[in-house]
Amino acid sequence: MSVGFRKRTTDEIFVIVKKRIWHIMLPTIAVFLAFAWVVPNLPDVYRSTTFLAVAPATISEKVAPSLTDDDLSQRLQSISQTVLSRSSLEGLIAKHSLYANEGGGGVPLELIVEKMRSDIEVIPEKSSDNKVSGFRISYEYTVAEVARRITAEIADKFIAAQMAESTQNAETTKEFIDAQLAQAKSNLDGLEIQRLEIMTRNVEALPESSQGLIAQLNGLRQREQTISKDKEGLITEKGRLHESIRAFNSQIRLIDNFGERETQEAVTQAARVEDTPAYGQLIQKRAEFSAKLESLKKQYREKHPEVLQAQTEINKINDELEKLALNTEKRVKQANLTVSRKAELQRKSIEIEKEKVEGQINQIELQIQQRDRDLQQNLVQIAALEAKINTIPNVKVALEGISNQYQSAKSNYDELLKKFNNAQQQVQRETNAQGESIRVIDPANLPETSETASKKPFFLGIGLAAGLAFGLFFAGVYEVPRLFKLQTIKDAEYYTGIPVLAAVPPLLKEEEKQRLKRVHLVRVFAAVLISIASVPVLIVVLQMTKIFERLS
């Protein structure tokens, strides 16, 4: 019977902890001392913040409509990419000598730029109606005044980039619409010139003849459709007849195969003389005469007339059998000829039907060729009519076409002219800063307290917890395997189910007891030395990984 694991009581756990107190305390003290050395020496980081709001336009919203949230978010993202670009941040780093320690320590400029970009935070803020009302910019640095100046410059860069981008977008839109407007004006002038040329060239022309030609052209179009449908029907019928020919060919192959098998069976049947009625009769007669001969031989001598007569009859029957065997080749030829003639007649009948179908296909091909000639002739007539319609000075039709094109071009030109005026007004609004813009509401503040000051106790608590966790883990490495072994009287009684009457402690001499104490003291002393030596190692690791700078 299996016994489950014995759960330890609180007193037993306390005894285990007391027994492994050095395993727990030494790592805890070592890790905490390393944190206590590094955390107070962390550089102070100051955060400066400024708030930029989206200021409404100074003129009517009908003239300068407000941007939507999507447009504003896209513009903010574009401006952020410009302001936080490598070239922009490198200028700030060089101007204010930022991150001098990193630069002097050989850190590549790309990593310094990434470090500064991570220290900058841009957070959009929304109003009560869930619309973007502005955004907050913050920057962290080890010097409070420098953090304030950098935050202010970044805000100025956002404002300048917004104005430059808005003006550039307006100018680009104006130039694009201006080019389209010029093209539309050129098209409009060209149509006006064409209309004047048609009117001047066909002053005395009459358009009445165009109606009759158009009616003829429609009739030819309908005739073309009819001929095409007839041709499609002929092609379908031709395909069906080709299917019939393939069916006839399959029947001919079947007749050939069946004829060959039937011929072989007839030849085999004709070659077997034993299966003929005459052969059977002759065999029967020979058997009768043979029986008679045997009976006569028992009564008479061999030269008796009746014996000789019976022998003569048997010889005649044998001669008839030989003649019958000689006629086998004739019967084979006759059977082969009969079967072949029958198969040939069937084949001829199918071939006649096949020839009829082939004749129908030839007729259909001739009809298809005739339809092709009719289509070609109809196309020639259509081309001739179209040429006549194009060459006849149909002033009314030409002017209506030109007028429709002119009206369409005029509508396009008016629409582009309206867009051009709006774009020109947009350029003026952006130039005069009358449109929707970004403005500083809360200037960059000068931070008085460090961001890391409030986090230092938290970091020390993390160090204490990490050291304690490592110590407990280290103690567990030694004690957990021992939990599965018999160590106490309770373990023995629990796992064996038998009460323990007496327990004999280890019987050691005084010298052995002293030696065990010395070994224990040496181990404790070695553990203390290792813990002391690990403190500077942990300090170096914490400083190289810069884990606190990342967490802060």
CA distances from 276 to 41, 133, 316, 526 (A): 128, 118, 18, 123
The two tokens of residue 421 are 């005026």
What are the pLDDT digits (tens) for 209-219? 566 667 777 88
Of 240, 234, 236, give the one whose Cα is nearest residue 372.
234
Q: Are 50 and 152 in contact (CB under 8 A)?
A: yes
Measured in whole angstroms, how far is the alpha carbon of residue 318 from the centre of its chain? 93
pTM for the model:
0.40
What are the pLDDT digits (tens) for 268-324? 555 555 556 666 777 777 777 777 777 777 777 777 777 777 778 777 777 776 776
Those residues whose C-beta lies under 8 Å from the C-beta of residue 526, and which sit 6 or more positions away, are none
Measured in whole angstroms, how far is the alpha carbon of residue 512 from the centre of its chain? 76
What's the CA gap between 537 and 27, in Å, rounded? 13
Q: Are 335 and 266 in contact (CB under 8 A)?
A: yes
Residue 5's pLDDT is what?
64
Supply the Cα-derived Rg of the chain in whole angstroms.
58
What's the CA gap between 462 and 470, in Å, rounded? 12
The two tokens of residue 416 are 């582009």
Divide the 552 residues of the chain into consecutive groups of 10 and give the mean pLDDT of each group: 65 73 79 75 77 64 46 71 83 82 74 84 75 80 84 85 72 74 76 71 52 76 85 83 80 70 58 61 75 74 74 77 65 64 75 82 87 87 74 63 72 74 62 61 78 68 79 74 68 67 70 79 79 78 65 58
DSSP characters for 21-34?
Answer: HHHHHHHHHHHHHH
What's the CA gap between 18 and 459, in Å, rounded? 28
The two tokens of residue 481 are 């395997």
Residue 205's pLDDT is what?
46
Report helix, strand or coil for 201: helix
What's the CA gap between 341 and 334, in Å, rounded? 10
CA distances from 124 to 138, 446, 549 (A): 12, 22, 25
Residue 60's pLDDT is what?
41
Edge-to-edge strand order for the sheet containing 46-55?
120-126, 132-141, 46-55, 437-442
For residue 394, give the amino acid letter: N
Those residues whose C-beta lies under 8 Å from the C-beta of residue 424, and which sit 6 or more positions away, are 174
The two tokens of residue 538 are 């942990």
Q: Are 538 and 30 in contact (CB under 8 A)?
A: yes
Those residues whose C-beta lies under 8 Å from the C-beta of residue 393, and which sit 6 or more positions away, are 201, 202, 205, 207
Q: Are 207 and 396 in contact (CB under 8 A)?
A: yes
| Composition of the chain by helix, strand, coil, percent to 5 | 75, 5, 20
Of 8, 13, 31, 7, give the one whose Cα is nearest residue 538.
31
For residue 523, give the amino acid letter: R
